[in-house]
Structure 1
Amino acid sequence: MKDIQLSHISVSDIITVLTPTCNFRCRYCFFRPRGCRNHPPDFIADKILKISEETGTERVLIAGGEPTLQEDLPELTGILAEKLHVTISTNGTRRDVLGRSTFHEVHIDLKALDEAKHIHLTGESNREVLECIEEFSGSDRIEVSTVLVPGLVDLDEIEGIAEFLSAWDVPYRITGYVAHANSLGARRPSADEIRAAARISRKYLSSVSTSLDFRRHRKRRMIVTL
């Protein structure tokens, strides 16, 4: 058993476990790892289960970074899934690790259908991501998400993704880009633009949600470092 590198754990209405490393270099990534340390999967699982007992939170999201770069992710999820609802958020490039992991849901982030745009955004091809979606779309446990970036990942790109996903009619979530200190130089989409992207996607898919649907009060977020 190897160690898992962990950034930190945050707790609100879900326990979020964040790993620091990633194989993409996304130009709009806002994640900044905190005090990164290596721990055995059973040690991390014990801490998460203790947090669950203390807070009454029964859902855990494992994200990053890219959690499937942690080779012992299957050991961690195997322990957690016995008692908690486990969701993995991934860029879809490590199907081998994902396939050996235990989860109730998987959220795959598809930056762009057009490969040139995907390379521009991440520095990497989207071939593995598309193959991952195809492999896991036979399950009812998948959700695909895309960030709407005006002028780059625009309505035509969103429509292309929705049409691609229509082969399996998987749930699709569209999130509005949030500008911050980065090299994209894009603006934040308006609410009308996000709604338009959803309307277009619903021509192909039966379940489409957006970041506008998730504007609600959350519990105060607590940060836990190990």
Structure 2
Amino acid sequence: MKPQNQTQAERLAELELLANETGLLDELKMRQRVEIDKRRMELAAKLDALPNPERELATLAKEAARVHAAREKAAAEDREADRLDKETTGRLVMATMMKAGERQHILTELERAAPPELEDALDDLSLADNLLRSAFRVDEVAGRNWLGQRVKKVTSNLDGISSARKQIADAQQSIRELARDGRTPSVAMVSRCAEIVEAALQLAFEFIPVKLWDLRRSKPLSDIVAEVTGYAE
């Protein structure tokens, strides 16, 4: 039996000796190495799982270059499209102006070649329109209603004159279109023009006395205007 007063160092030495004799120390060291190797493998796996910074940066740089190139290409295409748009629009404007000018030139020639009766008709319609503007009036009539109260009634010929002027404007447009018709014979144009004027003046003669109108070429215009302004008074 071992003495009880054995020191701790002596006891540890005996345990180590016992472990060496039985092979337990080698087994313990082996287990420790296995645990350490296992931990190293875990750390290596974690390291492999981390993204490669150089590879990631290279991928990002490649993507940035691709996007930049695509943007530059799109910008160049946009500039080219804008240039083509302006160029095409300019050609369209020039062609339109040339065609419009050519058309207007032909129309002007047709109007100049139309029978003079058409121009006289336009002058007459313009005069009638001026006289209608002068014939506008507003009347205020005092009276009493059925209760005996004094009332004032305001009347105006504005609606009728507006309708008459609308007919004259339509007739003027019809005559201008007739003057631009190069396929209608002159005799037929004059006849059609007279019909247009006659129809257009029907409403106007409700405000312009026919007898006064017949004197338009022999009486001063100022006198005619003065009489129309005071008509029915």
Same-fold call, TM > 0.5?
A: no
Question: Counting strand residues as a fraction of each chain, which structure ranks higher?
Answer: 1
Question: Counting helix residues as a fraction of each chain, which structure ranks higher?
Answer: 2
Rg larger for: 2
Normalization by structure 2: what TM-score?
A: 0.16
Normalization by structure 1: what TM-score?
A: 0.17
